Amino acid sequence: MDALEALVALGRMTAEQWGLVTTEQARQVGVDRASLATLTRSGLLVVVGTDVFQLAGTPPPAHLDTKVAWLQLAPDTAAWQRLDGMTGVISHSSACRLQGLGDLPVGTVHVFGDRSRPAGPDVRVHDMSRLDPAHITVVDGLPVTAVGQTVADLLRAGLDGGHVGGVVADAARLGLVDLDTLARQIAVFTSAYGLPESASGHDLISLLLANAGEQAPAR
């Protein structure tokens, strides 16, 4: 296969995958490692992660680090075949970044996935058994934890109330969360954040919002 044929073959994959392709996906369409190396040396492909390439000339996708990490979780499967989340779901602070929620520290990509598979040094893989499949949404072609699941995950991880409150406030403003439903999802964490045993999930929401300098909406 010459360079032009290889680019055409890869183009079918990258067109539906943010301009990206993995080594294994390339192999499946007849482009071997030697051809990938040749295309990279000639500047037609750019290495953006271990065994992940970007087609030169395509605009860098938003949240490239997150997309690369997610592709690496199941490098033999196309992105559009993985939207059910069974091979990995973006979570925690990474889910917030994708949905424009809060102001959380960045640097590590958080995903629910198979912890027995290798992951990059800047990727944190969380136990898939903690994820409710009903609480997955799709953002920019990626399976992402829905807001209620994300907030519960952040609370379980012990993130400070101010940061979590910022996430809740932004989600409420954007209409991405129902506060009554969220209150039921996070009621179990009230004591962990210093509230009495009699406190409700709504009390916790009010505390989180207050810690973030936000006012609780009228119920």
Share of the chain above pLDDT 90, in %: 81
Query: What is the pLDDT averaged over residues 37-49?
Result: 95
CA 138 vs CA 64, 89, 95: distances in Å? 16, 9, 10
Residue 89 confidence (pLDDT): 97
Residue 120 confidence (pLDDT): 78
Query: What is the pLDDT averaged over residues 146-153?
Result: 97
Which of residues 165 and 1 earns the better pLDDT score?
A: 165
**Overall residue count recorded for the chain in this entry:** 219
81-137 confidence digits (pLDDT tens): 999 999 999 999 999 999 999 999 888 999 999 887 777 788 999 999 889 889 999
DSSP of 82-144, one letter per residue?
Answer: -TTSTT-EE-HHHHHHHHT-S----SSEEEEE-TTS---TTEEEEEGGG--GGGEEEETTEEE
Predicted confidence band of residue 218 (pLDDT cuts 50, 70, 90)? low
Residue 106 confidence (pLDDT): 82
Residue 137 confidence (pLDDT): 97
Residue extents of the structural domains in the chain:
3-55, 64-145, 154-211
9-20 confidence digits (pLDDT tens): 998 889 999 999
Residue 27, pLDDT > 90, answer yes
State the chain's mean pLDDT as an integer.
93
Residue 219, pLDDT > 60, answer no
Query: What is the pLDDT averaged over residues 32-37?
Result: 94
pTM of the model: 0.93
Query: What is the pLDDT averaged over residues 165-169?
Result: 98
Residue 193 confidence (pLDDT): 97
Residue 52 confidence (pLDDT): 97
Sign for the pseudo-dihedral over CA of 204, 210, 213, 215? positive
175-213 confidence digits (pLDDT tens): 999 999 999 999 999 999 999 999 999 999 999 999 999
Instruction: Please enumerate in sequence order all residues whose Cβ is within 8 A of that of 37, keeping only pairs 6 or more positions apart, or say none.
Output: none
